[in-house]
Amino acid sequence: MVPLSQIWTVASYVLSKKLRGEKRYPLVLMLEPLFRCNLACAGCGKIQYPDHILNRRLTPEQCWKAAEECGAPIVSIAGGEPLVHKEIDRIVAGLIERKKYIYLCTNAILLRKRIDLFKPSKYLTFSIHLDGLKEEHDESVCREGVYETAVEGIREAVKRGFRVTINCTLFDGVDPQRVRAFFDEAMNLGIEGIMVSPGYSYQKAPDQEHFLQRNNTRELFRQILKERKKSWKFNLSPLFLEFLQGNIEYDCTPWGNPTYNIFGWQKPCYLLQDGYVKSFKELIENTPWEKYGYRSGNPKCANCMVHSGYEATAVNDTFGSWKGFVKTVKASLS
């Protein structure tokens, strides 16, 4: 279960922003300290850069400065593969010192080798990339044996007392029954919870055929989540799961998960690259936000229902009013 201290930190942060009348504030910093990865997944939009870009790294100091600048209570360290970064332990330690709740997103290939660099903490969660059971995951990452390596990594991290979640991206054509079986298997590994999201159709990704369209997404999630098992725990807002099933209409909150990487602050969101700016202030003040999100009519946003765009909307709904809070409690109990 997510520690109460984390829930309290996020709730009090949102309430303080509301009380101050701030319209746009971040919830999760998406920190990409490098783009280099030790896999080459078909649905990835991040690793198609030339070598001289893949060889660049953010320094720990740049990472800490970005976290301080934007002030989000949660930092998701993505990439590329963060465990490839030689100073990932220093980056994590500095963020913990700043009391940030960190989700270190990893394919877990290097987890057993590098786990001694870290100490269990309520602030640190290993968020392991797994897109399904062995067959589906190995196909998704285009390499045999990665599922088993990831499972060994999860077992080791759980045994040592780390917080562990899985993050799972679903693409068109997945079998809902296989996804349900995968959720059972994942929970049996002793993880804290599941993060699940439909994939986004990156224009740079090699496999363009298997991204989900909006209606397919809703239908898929309705089938996966009907008669939801009590043993499944989700590391997501209950309202985001309602949104995925088409039970709630939301628009995106593109500034909710701002992205910082070797190019600077990425406009406008984790998925689109409409330019970069030097400071977080510039990102918030100079991005034409009205041009993004489902309701804007922007074709790049038409089929997007991803976690990094819509979870912030769901969290704001939960903590923004009593009505939203009651809705969340009801969704949690359903």
How far apart are the C-alpha atoms of 139 and 145, rounded to whole Å? 10
CB 303, min distance to ligand SF4, A: 9
Strands 163-170 and 264-268: unpaired
- The Cα 147–Cα 103 span in angstroms is 20
Q: Of 104, 174, 224, 304, which lies in the binding site for ligand SF4, with binding defined by CB under 6 A?
A: 304
Query: Whole-number minimum distance, CB 224 to ligand SF4, in Å?
Result: 21
Alpha-carbon span 325 to 330, nearest angstrom: 9
Pick the piece of the chain touching ligand SF4 (CB under 6 A) from 96-104, 226-234, 242-250, 303-311.
303-311
Binding mask 3-32 toward ligand SF4 (x if CB under 6 A, else -) reads: ------------------------------
Number of residues in contact with ligand SF4 under rule CB under 6 A? 15
The radius of gyration of the chain from alpha carbons, rounded to an integer in Å, stands at: 19
The smaller minimum CB distance to ligand SF4, of residues 122 and 295, is found at: 295
Q: Which of 96, 309, 315, 328 lies at the binding interface for ligand SF4 (CB under 6 A)?
A: 309
DSSP state of 234: B
Count Cβ atoms below 10 Å from residue 22 Cβ, excluding itself.
10
Q: Confirm or reject binding of residue 195 to ligand SF4 (CB under 6 A).
A: no
Cα–Cα distance between 333 and 111 in angstroms, integer? Answer: 35
Strand pairing of 259-261 and 264-268? antiparallel
301 binds ligand SF4 (CB under 6 A): yes
Choose among 118, 123, 28, 117: nearest CA to 66.
28
3-state secondary structure labels for all residues of 51-62: HHHHCCCCCHHH
Q: Which is nearer to ligand SF4, 153 or 258 (CB)?
A: 258
Local structure of 176: helix, strand or coil? helix
Range 217-256, binding ligand SF4 (CB under 6 A):
252, 254
For ligand SF4, which stretch binds (CB under 6 A), given 62-70, 81-89, 219-227, 299-307?
Answer: 299-307
Check binding of 300 to ligand SF4 (CB under 6 A). Answer: yes
User: Which spans of this chain sit near ligand SF4 (rule: CB under 6 A)?
Assistant: 252, 254, 268-269, 271-272, 292-294, 300-301, 304, 306, 308-309
